[in-house]
Structure 1
Amino acid sequence: MTPDQGVTEPPAAPLPPEGGGAAAVFGDRMPSAHRFVEILADTGVSHGLIGPREVPRLWERHVLNCAVIEDGFPEGARVIDVGSGAGLPGVALAIARPDLELHLVEPMLRRTDWLTATVSDLGLDNVTVHRGRAEEFAGTLSAPWVTARAVARTAKLARWCVPLLTDGGTLVAMKGRSAQEELDADRRDLTKLGLVNATLTPHGTDVLDEPTMTLDLTFRRKRTPAKPRRQR
């Protein structure tokens, strides 16, 4: 038996899709985006963050799918990515928009170690990795923008994210085709949490065959009615 027998090589990282969509999103930061895909195809797989079968479609289904939501954030925005996992969407956003301030929240040590190493490898100085559950950061970490991808159903996700939102902030939840169905089913719970003005927004219509959908919910902190002053 040779030393190489029984050793499985990681799948090769795919090339960017034809058509220039990736270049349109990442611009002169394409080398960093390509390096991110290489990392995902290598240690992302060996660490269990990405399934081996997902490697051939890392660009379209994962990296570009996340990066295209960059058009939903204003210049210099502070954004929290809840349940960042493989840095999706957080790292993809940080590459596409170096002006954004990204905070990646992830509870698992193995994943936060991987995220920290990946951020260092890519030289991203606009990213901070936080280990812990979202609810543990209530009162210590907040932002006008909170995003998440494939973390939980909308109502449950909202309970985790609302404590991190500043008043008037927006939860940008990446959702698939079930977005409208979840919104209809969870609207009452979302309203109780202070999430209003729900909007379904398509992203990447000129880049992806199937645009990325986000459910955008504005947070309004409930005001406690002032007690009437007692007259003497």
Structure 2
Amino acid sequence: MGLESIGLDLSARQLASLDAYLALLAKWNQTYNLTAVRETERMVSYHLLDSLTLVPHLDGGTRLLDVGSGGGMPGIPAAIARPDLQVVLLDANHKKTTFLRQAAIELKLPNVEVMTERVELFQPERKFDRITSRAFAELAEFVKLTRHLLAEDGQFVAMKGVYPYEEIAQLPADIAVSEVVPVSVPGLDAERHLVRMVMQ
């Protein structure tokens, strides 16, 4: 599947869960319009492998918030690859969270919780040591909307396409970029970067 180049060694059961997730996504997408990518083969690169590039960069994290989770990317693949990680999928769209809840049940993912809520109104009992998003908002907006959810010593890990020079320049003064990591997605001929940020 191309997982070796990402640096992941998954079990046969985890691979089967990823396949089952893709099948669910393709099935529900016909009715719920979860993604513009319709072909299952393209979904493997665009959604599955792209989401999984996040996983090696979650070291040290125990609670992950996926903001604007949509069809479950990157939260569900991350939850499958890291069963020790508590993952909360947050989206304001009821249709999308209906799919996410069904996927968590069918894929038997006890480490996944789904919340239907606007991110700025979300008030969980415990904060998160890792907060991620994929195609949710520009970095400054992402940080502004989620900063109340980040635990002390936590990190924002935003998934981006080309190197976001302009977005980084717009970040507030109390947010530091600790690194921008170029990632290579097997089968995807496009630039991808992970932006790791902390509050100072």
Letter in 2 for 1:147: T
* Cα distance, 1:22–1:168 mapped onto 2, change above 3 Å: closer
TM-score normalised by L of structure 1: 0.76
Greater length-normalized contact order (CA 8 Å, ≥ 6 residues apart): 2
What do the CA deviations read for 1:163-222 (whole angstroms, capped 9, x no partner)?
Answer: 1101221110101104233212x13xx22xx311441013357886656411110123xx
Once the two structures are TM-superposed, the CA of residue 160 in structure 1 deviates from its matched residue by 1.0
CA deviation vs aligned residue, 1:121-145 (integer Å, no higher than 9, x gap): 1000110001101111246451111
Distance apart, 1:112 and its partner CA: 0.9
Amino acid in the other structure paired with 1:217 = M
- Determine if contact 2:139/2:167 at 8 Å carries over to the other structure: yes
- Identity of paired residues, percent? 28
Distance 1:45 1:23, change over 3 A: farther
Structure 1 vs Structure 2 CA RMSD? 2.5
**For residues 135-174 of structure 1, what are the structure 2 equivalents within 5 Å?**
135-138=120-123, 140-174=125-159
Letter paired with 2:50:
N
Find the partner of 1:216 among 193, 196, 199: 196
Q: How does 1:61-76 map to 2 (within 5 A)?
A: 61-75=46-60
List structure 1 segments (4+ residues) > 3 angstroms apart after TM superposition.
Answer: 19-27, 52-56, 138-141, 203-212
Question: Is 1:32 equivalent to 2:32 in the alignment?
Answer: no
TM norm structure 2:
0.88
Gap change, CA 1:215 and 1:21, over 3 Å in 2? closer
Q: What amino acid sits opposite 2:66 in the alignment? A: D
**Aligned residue-pair number:** 199
The separation in 1 between residues aligned to 2:166 and 2:39, in whole angstroms, is: 26
Unaligned runs of 5+ in 1: 1-15, 221-232
Task: Please state how far the C-alpha of 1:30 moved relative to its aligned partner.
Answer: 0.4
Partner of 1:179: 164
Shift of residue 22, structure 1, vs aligned partner? 8.3
The partner residue of 1:105 within 90, 95, 106 is 90
1:201 corresponds to which residue? 181
